[in-house]
Amino acid sequence: MNNLKKIKFFQLILFSCFSYSAFGQWQQSVGTAGLNMQSLLTNGVYNFAGGATGAYLSTDSSANYIYSNSGNDAVGPTRGFTKDNNYVYTCTSQGVFRSSDNGATWISRSIGLTNLLTHGIIKASSYLFVVGPAGVFKSTDQGDNWSSTGLSTNDVRCITAIQDTIYVGTNGVGIYKSIDWGANWIAINNGLGTATIFRAIESKGNTLFAGGQIGTGVFRSTDFGANWTLLFGGLPSGSYRGFASNSQLIVAGSFGAGVFYSIDNGNNWTAINTGLTDLTIFDLELNAGYIIAATNTDGVFRFAFSNLSLGLDELLTDDEITIFPNPTTNQITIKTDAKLIGSNYTVYDYNGKAVLIGKINSENTKIELGNLSVGIYLFSVGENLKQTFKVLKE
C-alpha cells in the first residue's frame, strides 16, 4: 500500500470511529438550561445571549454563561444585540441599552423611541437602527438619541443591511428596503407569494435570506431583494426565526424543526439536530469554532464546525491535498496543488475548538504541532474549508 493510500485509509478509520459520535453532537451551554433565549452576539472572545430573563455572557466559546444583566432590561426579553468599536447594544421590551464594558454594566439609551418594545437592532455604516411596532428608528450618536425613520404604522420584526441598503421584515406587509438610510422605503415582495410575516432576515455577502411564516419557509434573493425564491433542497416548510452566516455557510433555525445548514448558498440543506433538546430556535450565531443556537425553552447550545465535515467522498477522493507524516509527533507537511496557495486552514482539537489558523504558503507548507497535546486533530483546508483531514499527534 503506497503512502497516499495509507494516509487515506487511516483517515477513513479515524472518520468511522470518531466522526459520528465525538463530532456530531450539540452541547448545552452550562448556565442556560431551562431558559428562554432569543438573541445572540459574538464580540471577539465575548459571547452574549439574551432572552426572557435578560443578558448572559460567555468568555469560553459559549461553553459556560453567567448572568450579565446589571442595568439591562429585567422585565421582558432581550431580543437583539449589535456592536460597534466602542459598545455592545441590546434591544429589549424596555428599549435600547448600551454597555462599554462587554456586558458588566448596561445603561438605558432610548431617548426618542416612541415605543420601548423593540425587535431587532443593527449597526450599518455610522448609524444604529432599531425596529419594533412603531417602525424603524435611527441613531447617529451611538444610541444617545433616536429618531423615527419610516414605516411608523408597521410592526417591523427584523433588520439587516448590505453595504448602504437597509432591509426589514414586517409582521403582515412583507419586506422593505431603503437605499437612503431610511428616508424612503420600497416594498420588495416579488416572489414571496402569500408570505407577509418575516421574523428573521440575513445578508450573506450580496445574498439575502428571509424567514417566512408557518406554511412557507426560507426565501432567498440574489438580486438585492428585487426577486425572491422559496428554497427547498432538504429545508422543510415552516416558520424560520434565526440565521447566521459567514463566507463558508448559512445556518437557519426553525420553529419546531431545529437547525439546518448549507455550504452552497442555500441550494441544499442538512439538518443538524442531534443533542438538541428543544427544536424551536430563535437565533443563531457563529464564533471562532462553533455554531451557537438560542432555543425557546432550554437555553443555549453549541455545535463545533468540525462536525460539518460529513462526506467520506471529500476525505477519500480529493488528491489536491495530502498531509504527512500521519501519525506525527511535532510537525506535519501539507502538500497541495499550486492553485491552493493562499488558501486558509484551520486546525480543530477533539472538542471542536480552533487551535491553529493560518494560510497555505507554498506547495509544501510545514505546520508545527509541538505545542499541542497528544490526540486527534481535524484539519480543514481550502475554499469553504471543505477538504478535511484527521491527524493523530503522538
pLDDT band at 107 (very low <50, low <70, confident <90, very high): very high
What pLDDT was estimated at residue 352?
61
Confidence of residue 351 (pLDDT cuts 50, 70, 90): low
Higher pLDDT, 238 or 324: 238
For position 306, what pLDDT does the model report? 80
pLDDT of residue 193 exceeding 70, the answer is: yes
Residue 22 has pLDDT above 80, yes or no: no
274-315 pLDDT, tens digit each: 999 999 999 999 998 899 999 999 999 999 988 875 433 333
pLDDT for 314: 35
Counting Cα atoms < 13 Å in the Cβ hemisphere of 146 gives 28
- Mean pLDDT computed over 49-67: 97
**Domains annotated on the chain, with CATH:** 3-23+313-393 (2.60.40.3080), 27-308 (2.130.10.10)
| 3-state secondary structure (DSSP) of residue 219 | strand
What's the pLDDT score for residue 387?
Answer: 57
Query: What is the percent of the chain where pLDDT is above 70?
Result: 88
Q: Which of 12-26, 177-191, 312-326 has the highest mean pLDDT?
A: 177-191
pLDDT of residue 338: 75
Please state the rounded mean pLDDT for residues 32-54.
Answer: 97
User: What is the reported pLDDT for 350?
Assistant: 55
Mean pLDDT of the chain: 88
Q: Where is average pLDDT lowest: 21-25, 146-150, 153-157, 275-279?
A: 21-25
**Percent of the chain clearing pLDDT 90 (strictly above):** 69
pLDDT at 79: 98
- Residues ≥6 apart with Cβ < 8 Å to 339: none
d(CA 130, CA 121): 4
Give residue 83's pLDDT: 96
Q: What is the largest CA-CA distance in the chain?
A: 73
Does this model's pTM top 0.85? My answer is no
Q: According to the model, what pLDDT value does residue 13 have?
A: 37
CB 269 within 8 A of CB 247: no
| Cα–Cα distance list, 61 to 45, 269, 273, 274, 303 (Å) | 7, 25, 19, 20, 11
CA atoms within 13 A on the CB side of 312: 10
Q: Is the pLDDT of residue 223 over 70?
A: yes
Q: Is 374's pLDDT higher than 60? A: yes
Query: What average pLDDT score do residues 110-135 get?
Result: 98
Q: Is residue 12 scored above 70 in pLDDT? A: no
Tell which residue, 377, 389, 374, has the closest CA to residue 335.
389
pLDDT of residue 160: 98
88 or 316: which leads in pLDDT: 88
pLDDT exceeds 80 at position 24: no
C-alpha to C-alpha distance for 272 and 302, rounded to whole angstroms:
11
Question: Residue 120 pLDDT > 70, yes or no?
Answer: yes
Joined grid coordinates for residue 72: 439591562
pLDDT value at residue 354: 77
Residue 18 has pLDDT above 80, yes or no: no
pLDDT at residue 269 in the model: 97
Range with the poorest average pLDDT among 156-160, 196-200, 372-376: 372-376
DSSP 346-375: EEE-TTS-EEEEEE--SSEEEEE-TTSPSE
Confidence bin at 16 (pLDDT 50/70/90)? very low
